[in-house]
Structure 1
Amino acid sequence: MSKNQNKTGSYSFFNCIEKNFDKAARFISIEKGLLEQIKACNSVYRMHFPVKIGKEIKVVEAYRVQHSHHKLPCKGGIRYSMKVNQDEIMTLAALMTYKCAIVDVPFGGAKGGIKIDPQTISSENIEKITRRYTSELIKKNFIGPGIDVPAPDYGTGEREMSWIFDTFLSLRSGDVDALACVTGKPVSQGGVRGRKEATGLGVFYGVRELCHVKEDMDSVGLDVGLVGKRIIIQGLGNVGYHAASFFHESGAIIIALAEREGAIYNEKGLNVSKVFLHLKNNGSILNFPEAKNIEKTEKALELECDILIPAALENVIHKNNANRIKAKIIGEAANGPITPEADEILDKKGVIIVPDIYLNAGGVTVSYFEWLKNLSHVRYGRMEKKFRENVNAEFLQVIETVCKKKISIEEKKIILRGPREIDLVRSGLEDTMINGFHKICDLKKSLKIENMRTAAFVLSINKIIDSYEKLGIFP
């Protein structure tokens, strides 16, 4: 067993990323030492701080990792989980660097984590921990609009980001750009509409674009388009739920949904909204009236389907189950759901894998839009919505005059409406995901790279190298 493997034979999360990086490095002509610089984490801040919870003082373990400073600020979420450790946070920070480069978001990668279980701690105590964590970041200059900009991740959301912003503002009063110190905030505090569903929507856009490529669909024996595609989604959190909803609305058939406690299956399709309501009311997706229960979540991954979307944990597809995966396409909505060994098995089977460093970049893309909104101090659409409506009204009047025909009130409403903030955000996200997909595919063809993952890493590394060269760091 390799020193980088654990007792189950799986590689550490960080080593999985390093192996993928090394595969891509074969296609890049640059000194090895410079590649090592790109691969290494720049700064790792591990902290322990006391917080009074009830009558006791608890020592909390937390991290903030800045993987790359090739562009500033650094960017990455903060997760609250008992599974938080240095290896995980370093890996997620590295993934953020590569994601940002692929989708042309000008950030270096970062990630944060606090080792707590938010399900067992009161809101009051979570607030105490969040504010203390923020003050620790401020002390060491690990947060700021031009330094390091956190965002939500597993176990956190708008509430925690609001506390982070408020704490930053209280300690950096007078900073005109303070709103941009964190993204994923409530809209009332400078957040951007469309952020919550951004990662899931980005997953939808990326897989949809793949399904429009006839050559790729022919290679796996599928028709072009999403309509009628049988999809299995593992994880019904924020990412999985929104991805499932967009796939369902597009005409795809969600045949199975899997959560930690088990999975549900209906070959004719599941209504995602009804399943989510059932989950909300019962605390579990199991025993949904219109589906069969599957006792083990892992078994749901092995069902016959066209597209499998792992949207929960890392390493869920590994060398022991990869041969049993029957999906023709796997879209990595989660970070690192496939181990390097499983990757090789699936490649040999001809499975198309849409990699995480591209596919789940929707969240950071829309976070970038929020950051820009905060720095510009103006809401998207504010200066153009009414102008566009007036221009549309003039066009409509000309059309009615020339055609000598009146357009219905319902049709007028559609034509006259100017772009809202959410329209512009979703349009920007869609364009970003489409462009990223085709850049990866073009590079894959030109260099004759075997799969999308390696091509995505090559694209990302080349962009980072270009940034360093412009800074004059590389000879």
Structure 2
Amino acid sequence: MADKHYNFFESVTRSFDKAAKFTQWEKGILDQIKACNAVYRMRFPIKRDDGSIEVIEAYRAQHSHHKTPCKGGIRYSELVDQDEVMALAALMTYKCAIVNVPFGGAKGGIKINPREFSAWELQKITRRYTSELVKKEFIGPGTDVPAPDYGTGEREMAWILDTYMAMHPGEVDAMGCVTGKPVAQGGVRGRKEATGLGVFYGIREVCSMPDVMEKLGLTTGIVGKRIVVQGLGNVGYHTAKFFREHGAKIVAIAEFEGAIYNEDGLNEEAVFQHRKSTKSILDFPGATNLKVTGDALELECDILIPAALENVINGDNAARVKAKIIGEAANGPLTPDADEILSKKGVLVIPDMYLNAGGVTVSYFEWLKNLSHVRYGRMEKRFTENLNKHIIGQLEELTGKTVDSREKLLIEHGPDEVDLVYSGLEQTMIEATREIMACWHANDKIPDMRTAAYVVAIDKVGTSYAELGIFP
């Protein structure tokens, strides 16, 4: 079955419309919620290292202003276009609403292949892009806060921060203009692994629900679950890492050059190092090669985690997917037609719009840190440790027994910044999962978890608009 042609924003709108039928909001409010409020399309020249001039095409989309600032990553890719940034900005609006992060959705993109530019050229592009955003007030700690995305990272965020601060001397909260920064530049510990960790927490919570697992014919918990991960980038790597460390088996890993399979399990770090030295994950010791990377999506497994590209599961291959659960770590890995096929097969699809919200959740923590001007844990860590030591001392004195030294260290430990970030992310993903599941179970006409997630998002954004008095 070939997919009907949808552009990305139309696919998001289609999912929105499917869920809107299960809400009480009138058509005008629904139209406002799903509309993209503003798109800034720009062109600017840069001088390349060889002296030639190249005109760069770039975008920033602000989907919703129901809460400000807007929030969303900046990607560097040859595939960037207006449709993509609008769709991703819309998903950010709904994602933030579901996980109770008080931002409107935004997204940015520069239409380049970053591998074809030197570091100096990338710095010039990034700084010029930032200055263009500043001119139109499309960036600022209370206006629009970018973050890393595909093709960008801490380095680019540091360039953005420096450019913004140079253009806003003396602005006390300037550091909050962008997240995903190096820790030394106001970043937060735990941001790099946040998306993968959020994927782990979300899927783990679903797997802890006995009624859901019974319906799928699976045991509760993640120990022993067979998992296929597509993509060994930042998200795929950390997702695989956390699942393996908690007792699951990563039976296959796929990348663009092919895939590898080992029913006894793979170690993502060993695979990563093998790829680093050989430029390919293929021929990994003890694993079987799959020359066609897409074949990994059709392997026997309990959980399939597409963590790379859009539309990898579609009308052509969805019927051959054997996983009981699909966790969308990437943005838009399933087409609308794939959704229909998998829903009829009884496959549980845990949707991207909340499952990969770990990144924006920890970005929110970073933004709060920047506005408060104090590191998480700095005020209470020593107090907590001293208090815990006192409690243990009292227990030992009263019982006449000594607590094991390793256990004592664990109990005495006061929270570091990363401990607090992990804890906040875990609670966020658990609450969001339970809220979506409650919505789904409350209405047996809602066909799937994605639709339930949209219903939750629409209700929260609609309520925000109503409370603002825009629709009395």
Structure 1 length as normaliser, TM-score? Answer: 0.98
Report whether the alignment pairs 1:453 with 2:414. Answer: no
Paired position in structure 2 for 1:46: 41
Report whether the alignment pairs 1:186 with 2:182. Answer: yes
| Residue of structure 2 aligned with 1:168, choices 142, 160, 164 | 164
Aligned partners of 1:143 and 1:181 also within 8 Å: yes
Paired position in structure 1 for 2:146: 150
| Residue of structure 1 aligned with 2:125, choices 129, 134, 151 | 129
Q: Name the SS of the counterpart of 1:193 in structure 2.
A: coil
Query: 1:412 Cα deviation (Å)?
Result: 2.2
CA distance in 2 between partners of 1:182 and 1:437 (Å): 27
Paired position in structure 2 for 1:471: 468
Paired position in structure 2 for 1:21: 16
Percent identical pairs in the alignment equals 66
CA distance in 1 between partners of 2:95 and 2:403 (Å): 46
Give the partner amino acid of 1:465: G
CA distance in 2 between partners of 1:327 and 1:10 (Å): 25
CA distance in 2 between partners of 1:442 and 1:8 (Å): 31
CA distance in 1 between partners of 2:200 and 2:281 (Å): 22
Query: 1:208 Cα deviation (Å)?
Result: 0.4
Report whether the alignment pairs 1:427 with 2:430. Answer: no
CA distance in 2 between partners of 1:408 and 1:444 (Å): 46
Aligned partners of 1:311 and 1:333 also within 8 Å: yes
The equivalences for 1:350-365 within 5 A come to 350-365=346-361
Query: 1:349 Cα deviation (Å)?
Result: 0.3
The equivalences for 1:25-424 within 5 A come to 25-54=20-49, 55-424=51-420
Query: 1:307 Cα deviation (Å)?
Result: 0.4
CA distance in 1 between partners of 2:165 and 2:278 (Å): 40
CA distance in 1 between partners of 2:73 and 2:173 (Å): 19
Query: 1:346 Cα deviation (Å)?
Result: 0.3
Give the partner amino acid of 2:8: F
CA distance in 1 between partners of 2:443 and 2:185 (Å): 46
Q: Name the SS of the counterpart of 2:59 in structure 1.
A: strand
Query: 1:302 Cα deviation (Å)?
Result: 0.6
Query: 1:410 Cα deviation (Å)?
Result: 2.7
Per-residue CA shift, 1:299-324, capped at 9, x if unaligned?
Answer: 11011111000001111111111100
Query: 1:10 Cα deviation (Å)?
Result: 3.3
CA distance in 2 between partners of 1:282 and 1:195 (Å): 29
Q: Name the SS of the counterpart of 1:330 in structure 2.
A: strand
Where does structure 1 lack aligned partners over 5 or more consecutive residues?
1-6
Aligned partners of 1:270 and 1:290 also within 8 Å: no
CA distance in 1 between partners of 2:308 and 2:405 (Å): 45
Give the partner amino acid of 2:154: E
Query: Are the structure 2 counterparts of residues 335 and 303 from structure 1 closer, same or farther at C-alpha, using a change threshold of 3 Å?
Result: same
Q: Name the SS of the counterpart of 1:293 in structure 2.
A: strand
CA distance in 2 between partners of 1:410 and 1:325 (Å): 45
Aligned partners of 1:468 and 1:474 also within 8 Å: yes
Paired position in structure 2 for 1:4: none
Per-residue CA shift, 1:193-228, capped at 9, x if unaligned?
Answer: 000000000000000011111111111111111011
Aligned partners of 2:3 and 2:315 also within 8 Å: no
CA distance in 1 between partners of 2:260 and 2:233 (Å): 15
Query: 1:281 Cα deviation (Å)?
Result: 1.5
- Which aligned segments of 4 or more residues in structure 1 are displaced greater than 2 angstroms? 7-10, 406-412
CA distance in 2 between partners of 1:52 and 1:128 (Å): 9
CA distance in 2 between partners of 1:218 and 1:414 (Å): 36
Query: 1:283 Cα deviation (Å)?
Result: 1.7
Per-residue CA shift, 1:240-296, capped at 9, x if unaligned?
Answer: 000000011111110100011111111111111110111121221111112111111
CA distance in 2 between partners of 1:414 and 1:431 (Å): 21
Query: 1:34 Cα deviation (Å)?
Result: 1.4
Query: Are the structure 2 counterparts of residues 8 and 23 from structure 1 closer, same or farther at C-alpha, using a change threshold of 3 Å?
Result: closer
Aligned partners of 1:362 and 1:429 also within 8 Å: yes
Aligned partners of 2:40 and 2:59 also within 8 Å: yes
CA distance in 2 between partners of 1:231 and 1:274 (Å): 17
Give the partner amino acid of 1:343: D
Q: Name the SS of the counterpart of 1:380 in structure 2.
A: coil
Aligned partners of 2:3 and 2:316 also within 8 Å: no
Per-residue CA shift, 1:159-202, capped at 9, x if unaligned?
Answer: 00000000000000100001000000000010000000000000
Query: 1:417 Cα deviation (Å)?
Result: 1.0
Give the partner amino acid of 1:212: S
Query: 1:12 Cα deviation (Å)?
Result: 1.0
Q: CA RMSD in A?
A: 1.1
Q: Name the SS of the counterpart of 2:74 in structure 1.
A: strand
Per-residue CA shift, 1:90-146, capped at 9, x if unaligned?
Answer: 000000000000000000000000011111111010000000000000000000000
Query: 1:407 Cα deviation (Å)?
Result: 2.5
Q: Name the SS of the counterpart of 1:315 in structure 2.
A: coil
Aligned partners of 2:3 and 2:337 also within 8 Å: no
CA distance in 2 between partners of 1:66 and 1:94 (Å): 8
Give the partner amino acid of 1:84: V
Aligned partners of 1:10 and 1:339 also within 8 Å: no
Question: What is the total number of aligned residue pairs between the two structures?
Answer: 470
Give the partner amino acid of 2:10: N
Give the partner amino acid of 2:447: E
Give the partner amino acid of 2:42: M
CA distance in 2 between partners of 1:17 and 1:188 (Å): 37
Structure 2 length as normaliser, TM-score? Answer: 0.98
CA distance in 1 between partners of 2:234 and 2:193 (Å): 7
Query: 1:8 Cα deviation (Å)?
Result: 6.7
CA distance in 2 between partners of 1:157 and 1:273 (Å): 20
Query: 1:415 Cα deviation (Å)?
Result: 1.6
